[in-house]
Structure 1
Amino acid sequence: MKRSIVLTAVAVAFISTSAAAQSVGEKTGVNSVLGVAPSTADFVKEVAISDMLEIQAGKIAEQKGSAEEKRFAAQMIADHTKTSSELKGLVTSGEGVQIPSGLDSSSQSKLDKLRETKPDNFASQYDPMQVSAHKDAVSLFERYAKSGDNPKLKDWAGKTLPTLRHHLEMAQALDNDRK
């Protein structure tokens, strides 16, 4: 029993140190589970991709969604366009951090699935996707605001958190209304 506890502790320590060194932890969700702050490069990448996905998914929702989803989507487009612009203003190329110009394969897959969804089934795809995306965003921003290594981005993450928490509440209400 003691041996398994020690092995588990060693495994967790190994994962957390290798995750920080290799950025694998953010991609796999290990950092979130362990409460480890993402690297600045991972934070910027995740925020930029999340914003792009929210904006593009919102545009689809404006076409296929219910009146409530269309209102929510308009808010997501406006707010995530604003955070994208703010992020670009905070990140300078001299810091060795690059803002991605397109979606990663996972996000593109989610977007493709939304595009293929018929309007009658749209809520069953879009609503839970929004809850999940905003839970992830809140976790990402909380961890970076607490322990990020870039003071400007750390401050911005903290200031952006209330809006993201509100988005999560809105997404949960949208998803609950669907059920």
Structure 2
Amino acid sequence: MIRFSIAPTLGALATGLLVVTTAASAQTAQPSSGEVRLHGNDQAFINEATKAVSTQRDAARIATSRSKDREVKAFAEKVANDNAMLATELRAAIPHGVAVPKDDPDNAVLESVRNLAGGEFDKTYIENVALADEQKSLSAFQAEIASGRNDQLKDAARKALPTMQEHYAMAQELAKRKHLSEGAQ
């Protein structure tokens, strides 16, 4: 008859159970904060894109009420409507668990046009918002397409880019008709 000492057998069983339990919990462990981490480029895109889209949308809404020029108003209405849809599509593309900035437009941009009126409003809105700020937005979306790592975000940027390019081209044409600076070509 073979005799086994009970203490070493129980110790081996306890060690085995500890290894199995540790391995199982390591496979199911989630970040304690509940947030999913993205590559830095993707997170930067989310921050820049949500700010850019909401800034363009809110500035366009200001333009629809402050401008007296029908062309500027028509352009602003299109931008406001398109950017409201872009904001929804962008939020839908952001992976669950990723920290998403609140609807946080760039207040400095909005304040630059908020208290202006007439021709001064139109000039500032076209040059500083429709051209310069839209160009920054385009750069953020192009950077995501080129160097982003999240496929959903890259697809959302690709899908949004033609609309943003259309806005920029329309703004350039509007600036040309109003004899203003057309921004970079």
Do they superpose with TM above 0.5?
A: yes
Cα distance in 2 for partners of 1:140, 1:67 equals 30
User: Offset at 1:74?
Assistant: 0.7
Match of 1:171 in 2: 171
Post-superposition shift, 1:64? 2.0
Corresponding residue SS for 1:102: coil
Tell me the secondary structure at the aligned position of residue 101 of structure 2.
coil
AA aligned opposite 2:84: T
Question: TM-score scaled by structure 2?
Answer: 0.70
1:88 aligns with 2:91: yes
Q: Is the 8 A contact 1:40 1:97 kept in 2?
A: no
Larger radius of gyration: 2
User: Superposition RMSD on alpha carbons, in Å?
Assistant: 1.7
Over 3 Å counting, the alpha-carbon distance change for 1:38 and 1:71 in structure 2 is farther
74, 78, 82: which one aligns with 2:81: 78
Summarize deviations over 1:71-129 as a string: whole Å, max 9, x none: 001111111000110111111342x33233323xxx20221121111223111100012
1:121 match: 120
Q: In the superposition, relative to structure 1, how do residues 145 and 38 fare at CA in structure 2: closer, same or farther (>3 Å)? A: farther
CA 1:115–1:59 in structure 2 vs 1: closer, same or farther (change >3 Å)? Answer: same
Once residues 152 and 96 of structure 2 are traced to their aligned partners in structure 1, the CA distance between those partners, rounded to angstroms, is: 14
**Aligned partners of 1:52 and 1:102 also within 8 Å:** yes
| Preserved CA contact (<8 Å) 2:93 2:153 | yes
From 49, 52, 55, the counterpart of 1:53: 55
Q: In structure 1, how many angstroms separate the alpha carbons of the residues matched to 2:60 and 2:142?
A: 24
Q: Which runs of 5+ in 1 are unaligned?
A: 1-36
Normalized per residue, the structure richer in helix is: 1
Q: Which amino acid aligns with 1:137?
A: S
- Residue 172 of structure 1 deviates from its aligned partner by 0.7
Q: Percent identity?
A: 25
Task: Report if the CA contact (8 A) 1:58-1:77 is conserved.
Answer: yes
The 3 A distance-change label for structure 1 pair 77 and 57 is: same
Once residues 153 and 38 of structure 1 are traced to their aligned partners in structure 2, the CA distance between those partners, rounded to angstroms, is 13
